Structure 1
Amino acid sequence: MTSDTSTDALAETARRAIACLDLTSLNDGDDDAAIETLCRRAVTPAGPVAAVCVWPRFVPLCRDRLEGSGVTVCTVVNFPHGRDNVEQVRDEILPAIADGADEIDVVLPYTALLTGRVAEARAVLDMARLMTGEATLKVILETGRLLTPSAIREAAALAVDAGADFLKTSTGKVAISATLEAAHVLLDVAAAAGRPVGVKVAGGVRTTEQAAAYLRLADAINGRAEPSNFRFGASGLLDALLATLDGRPATVSAGY
């Protein structure tokens, strides 16, 4: 794959990436005002983002503010540590779905998986799939903790077998978040799933050039990346994408 950094190519990347963006705010200090700002930002001059991703308590607010916008509402459970408590996952998902969440991002119990407790990790995913119902289920693998391609592949295959609709790289809360290498493994597993499975790249994608590299990779492995099969999970990326479209220099965010 060759890189095309021309102005027109970067503008096309920015438009595509905005459509595939899960605009995210998962900060400890988030409040209603911060989430209202997030919702306003989600409908951009270049079109709406794919989703907003927020703490469960903000799902009703997002549903209200984004009604009719085309932006879906995503929330996280078992986040960010990926504990292996099945009942906790159930008790987090049920109210989120009742409040109108369209998408659930659940953290795989990666520590359980790494220590050989595969059945315990799988039980959490099975519960998440059952409780999520018709909503979209994204499984966060925390690839920065799994580290090796073989461990990442094992986790991705487990998630697909449990019914995941998307494989997500990271929580954005550990030292190593998304990498092209990890994304390649997830895209390979998704391509071999025998049913539609998307990939969400989260954490550390902050520039239009970085987004372009992931889009090229996704296009090459799974066909053209679009919101139904590919997402970026990010907070600061949107500013960079809009700057690209406006022909302005981008300030790189230190955020998610």
Structure 2
Amino acid sequence: MEINTPREAASFALSLLDLTNLRDDCDAAAIETLCRRAQTPYGSAAAICIWPRFVAQARSFLAPGHPVRIATVVNFPSGDLSVPAVVEETEGAIRDGADEIDLVIPYRRFLAGDEPAVTEMVAAVRAACPGACLKVILETGELKDSAHIRRAAELAIGAGADFIKTSTGKVAVNASLEAADVMLRAIRDSRKRIGFKPAGGISTVADADLYLRLAETIMGPNWIMPSTFRFGASGLLDDILGVLGGAPQRTAATGY
């Protein structure tokens, strides 16, 4: 999609948005609100992203086949659970109606040199949700080094990820254009149909537009669509609706 105006960027970002509530104080009322907010006068978000304990409730609002998909998180946010525990989380979420699983890799073990831990975790969760979209969170702000980010991306892709995702939003440094650049190049070089999801800290349409332009530069025109690109954000919808409603565009907070 060619984007020429802030309004076009806002409309496109809405179609790619995983509207998120992973707050510690999230409750049933907040989930109902989230489900309603994901359906706007300008179109729907791609998905909501919520704690596993709320998936069944969300499914009661968003029936199977609804255009707003239900994503949930596993091994979240620490990345420290055992493989059997994460498989159990995943299977429970699928039974409750989740369409998509966002999995945190065991990034501390990876940083300690244990690459097989990443492969084992991703492959086990992939096997536990064969019909679901599997987004693998690398926690790039903790990996820090571009070589680590690149290698973690390669391992996740090799073990069956449908998407690779930057961050949990729960650490000091979350999505960044630097990490996005490394991850998108890993996707391109894999020659596989793998999606990309920047998450954490993307709060304006101007921020979102920077990621969209970077992705188009690396992946080429017409690559970006909900099956290959998502934004993970809780506050971005407010700015999207503001821009679509005619409010002045806020400046980008993201940069190299």
TM category, shorter? over 0.9
Identify the residue that residue 31 of structure 2 maps to in structure 1: 35
Structure 2 residue 145 is the aligned partner of structure 1 residue 161: no
CA distance in 2, matches of 1:88, 1:20: 30
Q: 1:75 aligns with which of 62, 69, 72?
A: 72
Q: How does 1:193-208 map to 2 (within 5 A)?
A: 193-208=190-205
Structure 2 residue 179 is the aligned partner of structure 1 residue 182: yes
Alpha-carbon offset, residue 237 of structure 1: 0.2
Is the 2:6–2:249 Cα contact (8 Å) retained in structure 1? no
Is the 1:43–1:69 Cα contact (8 Å) retained in structure 2? no
Distance 1:84 1:56, change over 3 A: closer
Q: TM-score, structure 2 length as denominator? A: 0.93
Counterpart amino acid of residue 152 in structure 2: A
CA distance in 1, matches of 2:111, 2:171: 16
Greater than 4 Å deviation, 4+ residue runs: 249-252
Structure 2 residue 44 is the aligned partner of structure 1 residue 45: no
Structure 2 residue 66 is the aligned partner of structure 1 residue 66: no
Is the 2:122–2:159 Cα contact (8 Å) retained in structure 1? yes
SS at match of 1:230: coil
Q: How does 1:1-256 map to 2 (within 5 A)?
A: 9-67=5-63, 69-223=66-220, 224=222, 225-249=224-248
CA distance in 2, matches of 1:153, 1:62: 35
Q: TM-score, structure 1 length as denominator? A: 0.93
Alpha-carbon offset, residue 88 of structure 1: 1.0
CA distance in 2, matches of 1:144, 1:72: 27
Counterpart amino acid of residue 208 in structure 1: V
SS at match of 1:233: strand
**What is the total number of aligned residue pairs between the two structures?**
247
CA distance in 1, matches of 2:80, 2:191: 29
CA distance in 1, matches of 2:133, 2:216: 22
Q: Quote the RMSD (CA, aligned, Å).
A: 1.6
CA distance in 1, matches of 2:174, 2:110: 18
SS at match of 2:71: strand
Is the 1:84–1:120 Cα contact (8 Å) retained in structure 2? no
Alpha-carbon offset, residue 123 of structure 1: 1.3
Alpha-carbon offset, residue 162 of structure 1: 0.3
CA distance in 2, matches of 1:96, 1:249: 40
Alpha-carbon offset, residue 134 of structure 1: 1.4
Alpha-carbon offset, residue 116 of structure 1: 0.7
Alpha-carbon offset, residue 120 of structure 1: 2.0
CA distance in 1, matches of 2:66, 2:94: 19
